[in-house]
Structure 1
Amino acid sequence: MTSSTPNPAAATTRAPSARTVARLWRALVVALSAVVLLMLTPPSVAGATPDGAASPSRVAAASGGVTGAVEPSLAGGQPRDVDPDRPVVVIGVAGLAWADVTPMTPALWSLSQDSVGSLVVRSVRTSSCPADGWLAISAGTRAADTSGPCRDLLEPDPDGSVPGWADYQAAAAEENFDARLGLLGDATVGTQTPATSIGPGAAIALADAAGQTADHMRRPTGAQEWTVQTTIALERSRLVVIDAGEVQDAPGPVTTQQYHDNQVQVADEHVAAIIQGIRDSGTDPVIVLSGISDSGSGPGLRVLAISGADQEPALLTSSSTRQDGYVLATDQQATITGLLGITAAIPSGVTIGAPARALPDSSTAAQRIEVLLDDELHAQAVRPLVASYYLILVILNLALFAAVALGLKRPAATRIRAFLARRFPRRRGRPDENLVVARSGVLRLLRVVALSIGALPVSSFLANLLPWWRSTPPALGLAVITLGWVALIVAIALVGPWRRRVLGPATWVAAVTAGVLTVDVVTGATLQISAVMGVPTLVAGRFYGMNNTSFSLFTVSTLLVTVAIANPLVRAGRRKLAGVIVLAIGVFAAAIDGAPGIGADFGGPPALLPAYGLLALMAAGIRLTWKRVLGVLAVAAAATIGLAFIDWLRPADDRTHLGRFFQTVLDGGLWPVIARKLDQNITILFGNRPLTILAICGVLTVVFVLARPIRGAITSPGGGGYDWLSAGTPISRMGRDAPMLPPGIIAIGVALGLGLVVNDSGIAIPAIGVSVTVPLLLAACATWMLALEPADLIRANQEPGEPVRTAAAPPAQPVRRVRVPRRGRPG
């Protein structure tokens, strides 16, 4: 489909004048200015209740509601007034999960009656160790111990130095997160805020940059000692950080539930003694209960609870996640400094966390915990299915490409028809009808299969509208619901009023994909949470806006829809209007993807805007030159920087990662960010991950193996090996019926290529884009072939050497002789 026959209507259109080109450039500038003005408005809060409370439907999910349809609450939540004299007690129990907090653990249960949330403890590696969690509190960013088994934490030396601090600093230096250990300890010293640590983990959290602790107590051994030490610490400090123990898996090959329960019971006894010590001190602190890290068997969501006299029942969130009930481990430092009122002591731009905030609701504590348990169930259910899903998606695409490139060409098709003819003889007297049915049946089957594969990604998101993770096994529930959505989307594509248009069915699938993703990001991106192609919550990535997978799907689907909208205008010769409409859609798509309050995707506009700019020029009939291409790229770069700058103008706690990136650049941290992105790209490209290797092989197979025979057939005058499907019509004629299709393919290639460069998912972006684009293009091609007149159908299906037969010739009539009188001689 790379070459096309010029449209007669368009061929008579004069080339755009210099004035037309200038007008289009001015329209581009005006449109981008509109985006900038849009970005100046504060982000809307979709689905927020008037008082910023958590959506009731979110809590209703615990009793069997539909979690995917939940409207997001105010991401910022309710800020708390800081009492400069009120102490803060942080209790850490490494590995503590919400499944461990029940009425059978009364002390832990008592701390879960107010604000609660799931703590995402992922740090540098897949599973976090206790040291990693305490280092996150210390640094306010991702930091971890050296690789290997989790070390046993030891009490500080007599001189106050933390054991292993040099290893922690060396590990931080090797990573690209620019972690500055000791920030919290330095902040308390710099603001003269008295702080006491109890236990080895707490010493890590409160150590200064040199790894020294100012006021430390060794971990108690009995309940009475826990109580006394807590009371003493509160009498002399505003901040008390306590390492209350760990809930770790059994040291043997098999984890027993009894071993786990015993550790939870011990932790509950420690917390009960700490609570008694708080009461004995006569103070009224804010108590933060943290699950700190994973338990050893694998990643999971952990406990985060904030309680105190002024706390109210609520779900916790932060501007880092913008999702009800989710807080990152790196948010804990900002939460602590915010409660103490010493946030200003943390240097700007060196941390990535945001304070945890409350989303008050009227549900009971048991209902809120049930919601968090359901989130954990969802996260654990989807985790083992992601690789299998992508494997299936890639295999289906490769099978489709191979069937089209190799199986449907004339030599293979002839052998298949001969085999079927032997197994299923044709009915006598109706050979021509059988030929027609065979061709149309193959094309209809190809279209259904291609549309189904193209609809698979968006269906995986829609599957989250139903709680498939509660089924047994979860994989079966996900498969049934996903295939149900695929069937519904494809059925509508084939029965809708657009079914006979060349781009109609494929455009419907693309429109559903673009529409679902748009509505999702505008309303809080809840469908993406723990979706197989969405946001894996256990990875602690970006929980809101467009992630890289969604960006790839959104990009190709919106471009395909744009091609379908502009196509009739170009065929009618109204190229100027087509160019303006393409430009308007591009600005809208870039705003959805890049707006801080919506998509918040820094790497999206640099790929979307050039693609749409070039597509607009081609739709308007303007010849592409190096100057024009560079101009489009420059405007796109300026718009992207403008988005980040506008987000940076907002208060620090309200910024998305766009504004935080701008601040990082101002603080001189650009190169570490670039290095980290490059490292992630290289890791994905050359890492030992079967999914990535398979995706790369899929792209290479399509481009270098399967595309070559298809390209030859496209340029062949009679359809090449596909003449029996195209009725002898050159496939390049499709470019005349859909003149915007070749420019659209170019624009998709530009967007995916730039997306590969500017995003940190690397080869995954074009791989995902190809897995949707190519099936939908094949579906459009099948629709076009079905609409062809079958005048040459029988000729195209004849075997070499077979007598010529015609499909529509009337039956032969007997020849009747007519006597014509001859001219005679006169006489």
Structure 2
Amino acid sequence: MLRRPVPLPTALLLTLLALLGLAVPLAGTLFAAPAAAAGPVEDDEADYVVIAGAAGLRWDDIDADRTPNLWKLAERGSIGSLSTRSAHTPTCPADGWLTLGAGNLAERTGVGEKPADGQVEPNPDLPVQCEKLDVAIERPDAVGAYLPDQEAVVERQRELPYGTVPGALAESVRCTTAVGEGAAVAAARSFGRVDRYHPALPAAKEAKKALSECLLTIVDLGAIDGRTPAQRLRQAAAADKQLGQLLAARPKNSTLLVAGVADTEASSRLHAVIADGKGWEGGYLTSASTGRAGYLQLVDLAPTALNLLGRDVPKRIMVGHPAVLTDGRPADLDQATAAGTDADRRAAASRTVSAWFFWLLALVQIGLFTAVVPLLRRSYRHAGPTGPSSPPPRLVSLLEVLLTGASLALPAALIAGVVPWWRFGRRGLIFGLVTAGITLVLTVVTVRLPVYRRRTLGPVGVVAAIAAAVVGIDLITGARLQLNGVAGYSVLEGTRYAGIGMVGMGVFFAGVLLTAGTLAQLVPQRNRPGLVAAIGAAGVLLVGIPALGADAGGAVALTAGVCLTAALCPGGWLTFRRLALAMLAGLAATVVFALIDVRQPVDQQGSLGRFLTQLSDGTSGPTLARLGGANRIALFTSPLTVLALVSAVFLWVVLMRPWGGLKRLYGIYPPIRAAVAGLWLASIVGGLLGGAALNVMGAAAATAVPILTLGAMRVLGHAADRTRISEDTPTAPATMGDDPAATQPPALRVATPEAASSPAPVSGDTPEAVSGP
């Protein structure tokens, strides 16, 4: 006899109280800026600011012997790795200099550049280079300069969704001095005028006068774009020599920012950035844009310069944030620069490897789904001795192991970041072998657990717990596995530098909700919503806290999924009333997150708080446009989109058929049905809010669908089992997945010859579930 379901308002109230009860008391301490960000430098205002840029400058170009000036500057100053994302991929020198002067994503490549003469066909054995900077500069007088193509550049930015205003940095100060062609691009005002211009740094006395004419000076140290190591060394030495001349003429009480402002190859890389001046002694650079010690964005340089000069940052047109100083830098500069070089190599290697890894994962899982279809049809045996024979046990066991391994592939790819595979040759092969080895170990451990073999939901619970634990532990320890990881996020993309990524979010959502659904099956029906709420609340906090997951949109999405799971886990249909109350609870939790985030200082706000602030001051249009563009790109270019769509079709066309087994699994285990419904809702909302389209759903499907298929196979393997219930024997529900022959009285033992030769029947919450369809 079915038990009375818990009243729905009570279930939703428990969910909401669990979420809010944990979130509100911790808001004052947990919803703070990351511990690594120590805050602005005290008394950091300078009389002068000099920005010296060298396109292509990386940390492996700098050492004590060949570039002594850069080395000494890095020893006494603050350092970091610079992500040079712009509106053009890659950020070629023209784009980098324009982005620097605008404080926003800009694109200049191909606008107004003079055609190159005698262009040579590229050598396929050498890296593909960006076009050299070649801008028309007119000198109407002996003081400044004029860029005749600036009108076309401004028009190009209007076609982009970022709201970029070229020359915003120059417009924020009274006058700007530019030295060199790239500096002229950065210092030109929106109508093309450069206030003070020098084609090259003058001689000693004239240089001191030139650098003190304006409070802001921008200097082009040249480009490091050599195709061979020897060429790069010579160009880095030349840039260092110019920097030496700049240091000799530098005004007193000035702050110097040295940065690799652009890529010079077709592949994006991390570049060096150094700050030297009062208050910038030692430590790592960071900003609210990255939230990660040691990382800055190119768009942060303009707000940093204005902040040092005591000027207000025009937040409507500049998207970056001023740099701040953080602790944690090694005392040995060799070790610190080696870390920057290592981060650059890992980020570049991960972007290359991730493309084929996700396509391979999608193809493997699609192949498994195809192979399991005939097995599911054979497993669906009709009652009586005339039904088809069961599939071979060894084949079933093999497919179970393969499905388990497929679900563990993404957690294994995250763990693979512990091994420095990017430091060796044939990096893709090494990563593949490491990931395969970790997947094998996790699979062996999983299948040897007693709960895996004895319980129908054993594989679902174990795999989900592993997925949630891997991502959760990574978030608690600083998200180091996701940072520049194949299954994480790359700082070269310029969208995320800390917290949880889109792939990790999908894995975590699947782990948390399926773990909650599996454990809810073990408790009385009336206690299930509270258990789901408690587990879900812990997951929401891990995702939403800025010092951990740092994704308020992901926390909102997971809240919606948890509310829906809690509403459905006692059993029954998804009615409009349940859906409306679940949405109301999710909305209430969203309001709490929003209020907490929006009350933080602007430089400490998360993505949700910044968006609400922009919405209030009318500057949210570019953000919405960027979000829509990111969703479109992710939708049509990612292999996870293919996996998400194929998984959805497989669930609907195969597993939800009478012979697919998923309906039976849902009927026996209502919390699993609730968890799957909540998972789809959370992953879709999380992907849309994060600009990842179906990527979150694809990662969630890669983790959840194989083990759900395994569960469907197991319940189909017992579809023909029958029990005979004696009228004088009391019936008690069997526990999840236990063998009823071992736990029930003799009157409930299998009585038919066919059932006697079959595996132990699957049990559920009621005797009706044990007795088959």
Task: Using structure 2 for the length normalisation, give the TM-score.
Answer: 0.83
The CA deviation string for residues 479-506 of structure 1, in whole angstroms up to 9 with x for no partner, is: 2221222122222212224222222233
Per-residue CA distance 1:619-678 (angstroms, 9 max, x = gap): 234654324323322432343243233222222222222322121111213333223222
1:311 paired with 2:280, answer yes
Distance 1:652 1:93 in 2: 31
Q: 1:787 to 1:354 in 2, by over 3 A?
A: farther
Match of 1:108 among 70, 81, 94: 70
Work out whether 1:98 is the aligned partner of 2:59. Answer: yes
1:136 maps to 2:99: yes
Determine if contact 2:46/2:278 at 8 Å carries over to the other structure: no
CA distance, structure 2, for counterparts of residue 808 and residue 589 of structure 1: 44
* Residues 432-447 of structure 1: pairs in structure 2 closer than 5 A: 439-447=392-400
Say if 2:39 and 2:324, in contact at 8 Å, map to a contact too.
Answer: no
Confirm whether residue 391 of structure 1 aligns to residue 359 of structure 2. yes
Q: How does 1:403-802 map to 2 (within 5 A)?
A: 403-406=371-374, 409-410=377-378, 439-499=392-452, 500-569=454-523, 574-621=524-571, 624-686=574-636, 689=637, 692=638, 694-704=639-649, 707-714=652-659, 733-735=664-666, 737-782=668-713, 784=715
Larger Rg: 1
How far is 1:738 from its partner? 2.6
Summarize the Cα distance change of 1:163–1:130 in structure 2 as closer, same or farther, 3 Å threshold: farther
Distance 1:76 1:229 in 2: 40
Structure 1 residue 613 displacement after superposition: 1.4
2:4 maps to amino acid: R
Q: Does 1:292 align with 2:258?
A: no
**CA separation in 2, counterparts of 1:807 and 1:40?**
57
Distance 1:217 1:654 in 2: 39
Aligned to 1:801: none
Name 1:338's counterpart in structure 2: 307
- The aligned counterpart of 1:79 is 40
Q: How far apart, CA to CA, are the structure 2 residues paired with 1:526 and 1:382?
A: 14
Range 141-150 or range 494-503, more displaced: 141-150
Distance in 1 of aligned mates of 2:351 and 2:711: 35
CA distance in 1, matches of 2:716, 2:204: 81
1:185 matched residue in structure 2: 170
Deviations 1:488-544 (A, max 9, x none): 222221222422222223322211111121222233211111111111121111111
Measured in 2, the distance between the counterparts of 1:540 and 1:117 equals 15
Contact in 1 for aligned 2:15/2:533 (Cα 8 Å): yes
- Which amino acid counterpart does residue 215 of structure 1 have in structure 2? R
Deviation at 1:397, TM superposition (A): 0.6
> For 1:731 and 1:523, how far apart are their aligned partners in 2?
37
**How far is 1:805 from its partner?**
10
- Per-residue deviation, 1:247: 1.5
Conserved 8 A contact 1:117-1:372: yes
Matching residue within 188, 199, 204 for 1:207:
188
Deviation at 1:105, TM superposition (A): 1.9
Deviation at 1:146, TM superposition (A): 4.7
Distance 1:713 1:492, change over 3 A: same
1:218 maps to which of 199, 216, 230:
199
Query: Residues 356 and 807 of structure 1: is their aligned pair in 2 closer, same or farther, counting only changes over 3 Å?
Result: closer
- Whether the 8 Å contact between 2:46 and 2:254 is mirrored in structure 1 is no
Which of 259, 282, 292 is residue 323 of structure 1 equivalent to?
292
Q: Percent identity between the aligned chains? A: 26
- Is the partner of 2:659 in helix, strand or coil? helix
**What's the offset of the Cα at 1:208?**
3.3
In 2: Cα distance, 1:745 partner to 1:411 partner? 23
CA displacement 1:102-151 (0-9 Å, x = unmatched): 22122222222132111111212221022222222222221221558564
Aligned amino acid, residue 550 of structure 1: G
One-letter code of the match for 2:17?
V
Other-structure match for 1:27: 14
In structure 2, C-alpha distance between the alignment counterparts of 1:226 and 1:630, rounded to whole Å: 74
SS of corresponding position for 1:568: coil
Measured after TM superposition, the shift of residue 36 of structure 1 is 4.6
| Structure 1 contact 593–604 (Cα < 8 Å) conserved | yes
Q: Residues 698 and 147 (structure 1 numbering): CA distance in 2 closer, same or farther, change over 3 Å?
A: farther
- C-alpha separation between the residues in 2 aligned to 1:711 and 1:360? 53
Find the aligned partners of 2:330 and 2:352 in 1 and give their Cα distance. Answer: 35
Q: Is the CA contact (8 Å cut-off) linking 2:635 and 2:692 kept in structure 1? A: no
Aligned with residue 4 of structure 2, among 7, 14, 30: 14
C-alpha distance in 1 between matches for 2:60 and 2:32: 31
In structure 2, stretches of 5+ residues that fail to align are 112-130, 382-388, 724-751, 758-773
Q: Which amino acid aligns with 1:272?
A: G
Mean Cα displacement is larger for which, 207-216 or 644-653? 207-216
CA distance in 1, matches of 2:375, 2:302: 60
Which residue identity does 1:123 align to in structure 2?
Answer: S
Q: Which residue of 2 aligns with 1:432?
A: none
For 1:23 and 1:705, locate their aligned partners in 2 and report how far apart those are by CA, in whole Å. 35
Measured at CA, do residues 808 and 618 of structure 1 come closer, stay the same or move farther in structure 2, by a change above 3 Å? closer
Question: How far did residue 549 of structure 1 move?
Answer: 1.7
Equivalent residue number for residue 198 of structure 1: 179
TM-score, normalised by the number of residues in structure 1: 0.78
The equivalent of 1:355 in structure 2 is 323
Q: Distance in 2 between matches of 1:169 and 1:155?
A: 16
Describe the shift of the 1:750–1:358 C-alpha distance in structure 2 as closer, same or farther (beyond 3 A): closer
Aligned partners of 1:493, 1:129: CA distance in 2, in Å?
A: 48
**In structure 2, the residue corresponding to 1:352 is in which secondary structure?**
coil
Matched to 2:348, the amino acid is Q
Residue by residue, what CA displacement relative to the aligned partner does 1:175-215 show, whole Å, maximum 9, x if unpaired?
111223322212212xxxx5422223223333334332323
1:386·1:533 contact (CA, 8 Å) conserved in 2? Answer: yes
CA contact (8 A) 2:533 2:563 kept: yes
Any conservation in 1 of the 2:263–2:269 contact (CA below 8 Å)? yes
CA distance in structure 1 between the aligned counterparts of 2:416 and 2:277, rounded to whole angstroms = 39
When residues 760 and 265 of structure 1 are mapped into structure 2, their CA distance, relative to the original with a 3 A threshold, is same
What are the Cα deviations for residues 385-421 of structure 1, in whole angstroms up to 9, with x where unaligned?
Answer: 11110011001110110001146644999xxxxxxxx
Q: Give the aligned CA root-mean-square deviation in angstroms.
A: 3.1
Q: 1:158 aligned to 133, 140, 147, which one? A: 140
Q: Distance in 2 between matches of 1:476 and 1:25?
A: 49
CA distance in 2, matches of 1:593, 1:482: 25
Superposition deviation, residue 293 in structure 1: 0.3
User: Does the CA contact (< 8 Å) of 1:77 and 1:317 recur in 2?
Assistant: no
Give me the whole-angstrom Cα distance separating, in 2, the residues matched to 1:311 and 1:41. Answer: 30
Structure 1 residues 135 and 14: CA distance shift in structure 2, 3 A: same
Q: Is the 8 A contact 1:349 1:667 kept in 2?
A: no
Q: Return the alpha-carbon distance in structure 1 between the equivalents of residues 576 and 93 of structure 2.
A: 55
In 2, Cα distance between the equivalents of 1:695 and 1:86?
Answer: 51
Task: List per-residue Cα deviations over 1:567-598 (Å, max 9, x = no partner).
Answer: 122xxxx3221112112222322222223333
Alpha-carbon distance change, 327 to 697 in structure 1, aligned in 2, over 3 angstroms: closer
- Give the AA of the match of 1:167: A
Which of 336, 354, 374 aligns to 1:368? It is 336
- Name 1:378's counterpart in structure 2: 346
- Counterpart in the other structure of 1:241: 218
Residue of structure 1 in register with 2:270 after alignment: 301
